[in-house]
Amino acid sequence: MTEFYQANDGRFSVPVMRARAFLHLCQHKAIYLGKDELIVGERGPAPKVVPTFPKLTCHSVENLRILNSRPKTWYRVDGECIRLYEEKIIPYWRGRSMRDRMFAELPPEWRDAYDAGIFTEFMEQRAPGHTVLDDKIYTKGMLDFKEDIADAIARLDFLNDPEAYEKRETLKSFDISCDALIVFAERHAALARELAAKETRPQRQAELLKIAETCSHVPAQAPCDFHEALQYYWFCHLAVITELNGWDSFNPDTVVEEQLRQGNSLEDARAGGCSGCVEVGAFGKEAYILTGYFNLVKVLELTLHNGLDPRTGKQFGLKTGAPDCFKTYADLFAAFRQQLHHFIEIKIRGSRLIERMYADHMPAPFLSVLIDDCMAKGRDYNAGGARYNNTFIQMAGLGSITDCLSAMKQFCFDGSSLSAGEAGERAGVRWGFRFPNSFPSSTRTSPTTNCSASASSTRPTSTATTTTTPTRSCSMSSTLVSRKSMAGPTRAAAAIAWRCCPPPATSISAA
C-alpha cells in the first residue's frame, strides 16, 4: 500500500485515491482458504494475522518491538516487517499519517488534557466509531449498487450545484469500491477452483466447487440461499474493517426509545439497536463517531487541586478554589461540574476538528455504499453522508467517581463525628484526598483560607515527579492510611474510595 501511495500521490481526488487504494489492496493482498473451510476470506494473509494502518497511525520500530515482546496481548512482528517499517513505511508516512496531521492541528489545551489522561482519542489510530449494516445486501448485489451510483451521478446538476464536482468524485469512489469487492471475491473463487482440481477427497472437492460458485455469484449479485448470504455478509464485513480499520458488528437490542430521543424515525429505530460499547442507532442508516474515553476521576483530582495536575505540575484546569474552600458537598460538586464542563468543551472542539480532517483526508467509500443516503447526498460516511450522524464520548470510571464522591460526602461533610479538617488529619489525608508531600503539615492552609479562585496562590504547589511507570489518575492511589486511627464511619467511607483506586503496596502504612 505504501508503494501504491508513493506511485499515485496527487494523481486523483482524495475519495478516488482512497477507492483506488482499496481496489489495489483487493487485487494484490495475499488470500487464504483454510482446510475444511466453507465461508472464506481473512483480513490478513492468514487467520489471526492483521495488517497495520500507517496512513492512520505510523507505528515506530519501538512500538512494533513492544508488540512482539510484551507478555500479554502480544502480536508477533517478524524481523522482515520491522525492516520494511524502518526502510520504507516510516520514512514515507511520518508526518503524513492522520495521527501526525491531527496532533499538528490540535490546540495546546487539547494536547495538555490528552497528555494528562483526561481523555483519549480513538481516531488517532482507527476509523471513527462502530457501525452496523442492515439487510440491504440480501436484496442487492454490488452490480445493483453500481447501477444506483450511476443514476446518482446522472442526476447531478453541474449548472446550479457548486458541490456537483465533489459529489461526482465521491460517487466515483463508491463505484470503484464495489469493483474492489467483486475482484476480491473472484480471487477466492479462482483459488477454490485451483484447490478443487488438486483435491482427492470427493466431498471436499464438491465443497470447494461450491465455494467457487458462491464467490462468483456474491457479492456481484444478490444471494440466492443462506450459504451465499453468509458469504456475502462476511465479504462486506472484511471490506469495511480492511478499508479503514473500523466496524464492530453487534446484535440488536431494545433501544427504540433512545433512538427516538436522538431524532430517529420510529421505523428506523425499530430496525436499529446497539453497536459496540455505548452507541445505539439505526442499522445501515447511521454514522456512529466514537471519539474516545473521558476520565471522570481525573477531573475530580484536578478539582481537588484547584485545576493543577499533581502529576505534571501544570495548571490547565480552571481555578475553582482550594479544597479547604468547599464548606458543603454542594460546593465540591459544583466545582467538579465546572471542571467537567470545561474539559468536555475542550474535547468536543478537538473532535470537531478531527471529524473534519477525516471528511477531507480519509473517506470510507465502501462503507458509504452500504449506508443509506450517502449515495443520495453524494457524501461520504465520514462527511455526514449517513441519514443520522451522532458523535459519542464514552465516560470512563462511573463506578469509581461514584465511590470517590460518596466517600468524600460522608467522610468530609455528612454525619461524621469529626470535622473535615480533623477527619483529614486522622485519615492521613487532606479533605479525603492527598498526594504524599503535596501538602506538608508545616505549610498546610487552614479552613479559614481566603477561598476565592484568585487566591489559589496561597495554596502550596504540588510537587511533580517524572516516572516511567503508569500513574493512576485517582488521587487516593497514593494516600497513606492507618485504618486503626480512623473512626468507624470515616473508616468505612475511606475504604470505599480506597477500593476504587488502591495504592501501590509500597505506599501503604498498614496497622
Q: Which residues are catalytic?
A: 277, 279
405 is written with which cell numbers? 464522591
The total number of residues written for the chain in this structure? 511
- Contact assessment for residue 73 and residue 275, using Cβ atoms and an 8 Å cutoff: no
CA 398/CA 406 separation, integer angstroms: 12
Q: Which residues are registered as beta bridge partners of 20?
A: none
CA neighbor of 438 nearest in space, from 310, 300, 318, 317:
310
Residue 124: CB atoms within 10 A of its CB come to: 18
CA neighbor of 264 nearest in space, from 132, 387, 367:
387
Tell me, letter by letter, the H, E, C secondary structure of 144-182.
HHHHHHHHHHHCCCCCCCCCHHHHHHHHHHHHHHHHHHH
Residues in Cβ contact with 491 at an 8 Å cutoff, skipping those fewer than 6 apart: 483
- Contact assessment for residue 359 and residue 340, using Cβ atoms and an 8 Å cutoff: no
Question: What does each C-alpha distance from 238 to 29, 69, 199, 283, 338 come to in angstroms?
Answer: 13, 28, 27, 18, 44
CA neighbor of 488 nearest in space, from 384, 411, 428, 424:
411
CA 51/CA 56 separation, integer angstroms: 12
Q: How far is CA 76 from the centre of its chain?
A: 23
Question: What does each C-alpha distance from 474 to 117, 156, 333, 405, 408 come to in angstroms?
Answer: 11, 55, 16, 12, 13
Peptide bond into 71 cis (omega under 30): no
Tell me, letter by letter, the H, E, C secondary structure of 34-86.
CCCCCCCCCCCCCCCCCCCCCCCCCCCHHHHHHHHHCCCCCCCCCHHHHHHHH
Residues in Cβ contact with 142 at an 8 Å cutoff, skipping those fewer than 6 apart: 178, 179, 181, 182, 219, 220, 369
CA neighbor of 427 nearest in space, from 483, 496, 475, 477:
483
CA 306/CA 326 separation, integer angstroms: 11
CA 29/CA 234 separation, integer angstroms: 17
